[in-house]
Structure 1
Amino acid sequence: MANEQSHTEKFEQLCAGYVLHALDREEREEFEEMLGEASAEERDLYQTMWTTANQLAFTVEQEEPPADLKERLMEIIREQQQDQNDNTVTNIDEGSPSDDKDRFNWSALGVAASFALLIVSLSLIFYSFNLNSSLSNKNNIIAEKNTQITQLKNELERKEEMLSILEARDVDLVMMAGRDVNPNGYGKVIWNASKQQALLQVSNLPTEASDKDYQLWLIKNNKPVSAGVFSVGNQNDAFFKIEQMAEADKQSTNAFAITLEPKGGVSQPTGDVYLLGNVGNK
């Protein structure tokens, strides 16, 4: 009886691993040999497990089973088998020999049901994981698209502001030429003095260091007044709206200049002059 029980336990364990494709080559060959000599009850158990696994394959998305899935299944089966063995020992003197077959059938059915429940639970976990991953990916895509939309809106607003300056009737164009430190550079200031608005275009300015900024100066009554800082990065040609345009009219404004200053700008110019342009004939 002990040998028969040991054979049944091993058959059930190998059967569970076989339908899960979790056995190594030697275990698989051993089970296939046992299956060739299996009893009717054992074949019923094998068919039940195999059918359950095949049906689940069509109801959930296939996933690579975790590396420790086999060991967890074996542990659950061993615990269930131990409980069944305890029940068998308790009742062995109370039943007749004919009850052994009934007990085996109930044991096989219990293992099959437990196995099916475990497969369903794992399948639901995998499905939930995939669903959450899919939702997370879609949320990331939506957030990325919203960021792009915001950037496009900001760029459109900036261009509309620039266009409104360009379309104004009373605008002056101040050409800026490169100085000794950067003779190939040049720029333009498109200036609407009445509305205190201006656009700056610069070309061929060297890429500034990370601790530096270019600073635009309005020379008013022969004194420099800061009109803001900017960086060109690796752009050869760049447009900027001058946000800090100082109050000045054509009579008091002498020139525009660009210097290279410490990051964030300074109150008075300290660096080399890269571009300079006189207003009118001054």
Structure 2
Amino acid sequence: MNEQQFAELAAGYALSALSPDDEAAFVDALAAHAEWAHYVASDAATVAALADSVAEVPPPRALRAELLAQIASVQQDHPAQAAAPASSLESPTVVPPESRHRSWGPRAWFALAASLVLLIGVGGGAVVIAQQLNRPVAVVALERIEAAPDAREASTTLPDGGEATVHWSESVGEVVFVSDGLPTLSDDQSYELWFVRDSEAIAAGVFEASGDGNATALLSGTMSPGDVIAVTVEPAGGSPTGEPSSDPIVAIPTA
């Protein structure tokens, strides 16, 4: 499981809405990548805050009936998964590696949507919560940084006339890279972020840019004062060695 897949499943984990296979894969990934725990904490906080702030309202009859019909259909198609209890981080579901099937498709997102509806009594506020949880984590982090009293940023101009900016806040503890005009990559390449500290490059996550070169990416790990935030072009999925395999196309000093 890569970081993007982990981030996509974090909301479902916070709501105990993942299938047993997805939850087992998620827990394994969390154990292997402690630096990704902020996705879980952020989504859990969002669920708690929105659950407390949204008033219960009677659900539309048609919506309730449609949801119940779909849930019943999923249970019939996958009785073992439907009956499986949700587990906690302390006692994850144990699934033999040979039988694990990692699915990132509609079923996981339907489970999330169903749990969101149940969370507030199948009320109209489900739409609000779903919209909040489906927002990219990098965008949410950027808003937190910009709202912080110690928010800072540093920018550089790209060779083709675009711009790249790093946003960070020590109190928030997050760093977000925003760009426009990044070059288009081939299918077998990815952009990778790095903290460059004392001549050492520390991997901070892989990201993709849109067709026009725009990107908003949350860096994994912790920035230290004076770090340079760099971007390199790597093989798809990131550098196989854990070190940059090419010269940076972007390097932004933060001091």
Shorter-chain TM-score bucket reads: 0.3 to 0.5
Task: Report the TM-score when normalising by structure 1.
Answer: 0.41
Q: Which has the larger Rg? A: 1
Task: Report the TM-score when normalising by structure 2.
Answer: 0.45
* Structure with the larger helix share: 1
